[in-house]
Each structure stands twice: as C-alpha cells, then as structure tokens.
Amino acid sequence: MLRPGPLWRGALDILFPPLCVSCRAHVADAGSLCPECWAAISFIEGFVCATCGLPFDLDPGGETMCAACHAKPPRFDRALSVMRYDDASKHLVLALKWADRLDLSPGFARWMERKGRSLLEEADVIVPVPLHRLRLWRRRYNQAAVIAHGLARSTGVAYEPLLLQRLRATPAQSTMPSAKARRRNMLGAFAVPKPRRGEVKGKTVLLVDDVLTTGATLESCARSLKRAGATRVLALTLARVVRPAPGEI
C-alpha cells in the first residue's frame, strides 16, 4: 500500500488538522496528545518491581521485587506498563476498548514500544491476551490484538494472535469483588491449542494486554504458555492499577 508523502500529508493536515486524541485540541502530529493532556498522564518511570513492574516511591536498590511478588511469585517472568490506570488515563483506555476509538492504537503502540524495548528485544513472539469468541463477536475487535499487531509491525517480532485461546466466556474481571475472586475467575480460562504447542516450546513469549489490575489474567495466560513449553513469559500492558496495599498481583 502506498503511503502519502510529505506534500500529501501537509495537504491532509490543512484539510483535516490533527487533533489531540484526548481533548481534541489542535496538535502537531496525528495520534498524539496536547501538552496539557500529556502532563496529566502518570507515566510509570523510575524504580519499579523487577518482576511485575509496580512503581516504587523510593529507590529500593538493585533488582528488587515488591512484597507481593516476594510472597507469591507470579508465573510470568517480568511485566512492564506504560502508565498508571487513573482518572487521567482511564477514559483513553476505555475509549479504545469500548468506543471503537481505533485511532488511539498507533499512539498506544508507540508508547508501549518505547517502554517495553527491553522486553521486545528478548521476545521470540508477540501474543495478545485473547477474547472469548462470543465477546469478540459482540465487540468486533480485540483491543489487545490491535495494539500487539502494531507492535509487531514496527519491531519485526513475530505476531501470533491464535497461539493462545480463551476457552471460557468468563465474567468481566471488573465485576469481581477481590483479587482472589479474579484469580478464581481465570482458572482454566486459557490454553495453547495442541497443534500449535510446538511453536511455543523453548520460546520467549511477550503477552500484550491493555490493563494490569491484579495480574490474574496474565497469570492464567503465562501458566498455559509454560505448560505448553514456553521458556519465558513476559508481559507488556498499556496501563496498570497501582495500589499501596500488598497482594495485588
């Protein structure tokens, strides 16, 4: 497919000026945020848990795990997230998920590529967290797959959206009253199809999802991938819930 050159892009910008993906103010580049909206986003930077990516307020020194990962190490090997899931970012994440705002995905993929560069360098294959076929039919697209596909195109890492299947149409995780309930809800929810297990064996798999809340979904996915022979399972999410209470992962 031919891409528009600079002259065509300039003409399109005159006819359809690029707007902030959040507040619709004029911006220099399509798919970006204006300075005010950018400043409102709490990007996760600095010191984080060496396993789950939970941000620390202070430097704990070296490769340190948070209390939750020490108490119950997750099945995935490492996770990183771009930003905190809070009032400033929530509407953007939900707009992609529920409001057909697919125009948000290129910008999100760029953010995730920058944040997850170290994970992408290790990954043999990118796998989005799958939706059950009934939910995919109702929603028409999987927001995690849309972002994962963008990451694969820009990095050249293999993209395999069907390597992991969702077996059960589980209730939405947002309806679960606790982290324990979320973990129970995800038990046996995913599997690697038998004909494709050879494609997983010995590989480092990068899981992609939109939000990490308790980590129950990533845990279930990682468990299934490692049972199928994956050597390592990494995870990259657009946002994550950050709570001071222990035991969230």
For each of the domains in the chain, give its residue range(s) and CATH number, in order of start: 1-40 (no CATH), 46-240 (3.40.50)
Residue with tokens 């969702």: 166
pLDDT band at 60 (very low <50, low <70, confident <90, very high): confident
pLDDT band at 245 (very low <50, low <70, confident <90, very high): very low
pTM score, whole prediction? 0.87
| For residue 237, pLDDT beyond 60 | yes
Q: What is the mean pLDDT of residues 113-126?
A: 97
| For residue 75, pLDDT beyond 50 | yes
Q: What is the pLDDT of residues 90-103, one digit of tens each?
A: 999 999 999 899 99
The lowest-confidence range among 33-37, 137-141, 168-172, 196-200 is: 168-172
Q: What is the mean pLDDT of the chain?
A: 87
